[in-house]
Amino acid sequence: MRRLLTILVPLVAIVLGLWAGGWYIATRQLIAALDRWADERRAEGWHVAYGPPSPAGFPTKVAVEIPDPTLAAPAGGAGAIAWSWQAPSVRVEIVPWRLDRVVLRNRGENRVSARRGDQEIAATLSSDAAAVRLEAGRPQDAGHYVVELAQPKLQLDRPVELGVQARELGVDLRLSRTPPGDHLTVAAVLGVGVVDLAAAPLDKIGAAPITANLNAELLGAIPAGPLDRAVASWRDDGGTIEIRRLFVKTSAISVTANGTVALDDEMRPIGAASAAIGGYAEAIDQLTATRVLNVPISAQNGWLYVGPVRLARLEPLKLR
């Protein structure tokens, strides 16, 4: 046994030493890659700033802690959106067996803003734990992005003060490589889920927190270029948004819907959908004895219809 230990102990020490050395080299390479990315963005007109990165995550992950990150993207043309983000810190990590995946982790308060022309939205977004996962994805994918927030709180301070919070929020976006003009191919798949969404306007009318999820597909690629012309080209090529499933629930009522949305010549939403409304409140009982009401929904000629009732005017999208 003693002889075996005299062999194993040095062997384990060598393996651990090699692993520690490899981990250190990998973290330095990650920091160098981060610096190269920042230099490339600055050359494109971005504002990128952060404090000295430090290695983290040993022994299972290759990670870097970045203090005081600030990122601001230029508008990039007429009608485009300029945005900025600032946080106390962010952690960038990878694992050796998934080099195509980068995870960003953060907690606490983040300052975010978006500006288009003379219109600006500014807010503070905080959460107990935030994770953004970036993946190269499958060969046919242009990218896969996942956002997960625990106990998120969003406080708008411009253009109006408004607070929104939830127990959980998740976003899953997968972009595909789609040839322009092919309006039958899925260019993007979007999934959004929120649990116990609450806001002051809902509280004022006595509404319970909302749980909802959305699964939708963008058919037809949106080409590069100014946003107004790119969206118009997508529309002219027959592009649509297919809402595969939209589910919204409060304590009393649930709505499940699906349908198709496109744009008309004036950039107004057009399309048709159906919704099944169910629940336990007296309002639903008064509408149907089965507690489920099927309602057709349509958008045409600049108006939103629920059944035969014209409900609201639909304005053209402002893309410039």
Residues 144 and 223 reside in one and the same domain: no
Residues 92 and 19 reside in one and the same domain: yes
Determine if residue 206 is left, alpha or beta; phi over 0 gives left, psi from -120 to 50 gives alpha, anything else beta.
left
Residues 148 and 11 reside in one and the same domain: yes
The answer to whether 230 touches 222, Cβ cutoff 8 Å, is yes
pLDDT band of 199, cuts 50, 70, 90: confident
Residues 152 and 238 reside in one and the same domain: no
Among residues 144, 175, 206, the one where a domain terminates is 175
Residues 208 and 312 reside in one and the same domain: yes
More confident residue, 299 or 8: 299
H or E, element range at 162: strand 162-165
SS3 205: coil
Q: Give pLDDT, residue 204.
A: 67
Share the mean pLDDT of the chain: 86
Residue range 256-268: average pLDDT? 95
Residues 83 and 232 reside in one and the same domain: no
159: containing domain: 1-175
The whole-angstrom distance between residue 123's C-alpha and the CA centroid of its chain comes to: 16
Residues 209 and 304 reside in one and the same domain: yes
pLDDT tens track for 273-290: 999 887 655 555 544 545
Among residues 142, 175, 208, the one where a domain terminates is 175
Distance set, CA 5 to CA 1, 15, 16, 93, 200 (Å): 6, 15, 16, 36, 66
Please count the structural domains in the chain. 2
pLDDT band of 77, cuts 50, 70, 90: low
State yes or no: pLDDT of 263 exceeds 80.
Answer: yes
Name 199's bridge partners: 164
pLDDT band of 160, cuts 50, 70, 90: confident
State yes or no: pLDDT of 25 exceeds 90.
Answer: no
State yes or no: pLDDT of 292 exceeds 70.
Answer: no
pLDDT tens track for 231-253: 999 999 999 999 999 999 987 78
Determine if residue 220 is left, alpha or beta; phi over 0 gives left, psi from -120 to 50 gives alpha, anything else beta.
left
Residues 169 and 306 reside in one and the same domain: no
Q: Give pLDDT, residue 308.
A: 84
pTM of the model: 0.84
Q: Give pLDDT, residue 139.
A: 63
Residues 184 and 259 reside in one and the same domain: yes
Residue range 211-215: average pLDDT? 97
Residue range 34-55: average pLDDT? 94
pLDDT tens track for 113-153: 998 878 889 999 999 999 999 987 666 677 899 999 999 99
Q: Give pLDDT, residue 137.
A: 61
Distance CA 132, CA 92 (A): 10
Q: Give pLDDT, residue 65.
A: 96
Residues 166 and 304 reside in one and the same domain: no
Among residues 148, 175, 202, the one where a domain terminates is 175
| Paired tokens of 141 | 């994918």
Residues 165 and 276 reside in one and the same domain: no
| Paired tokens of 91 | 């952690």
Residues 200 and 222 reside in one and the same domain: yes
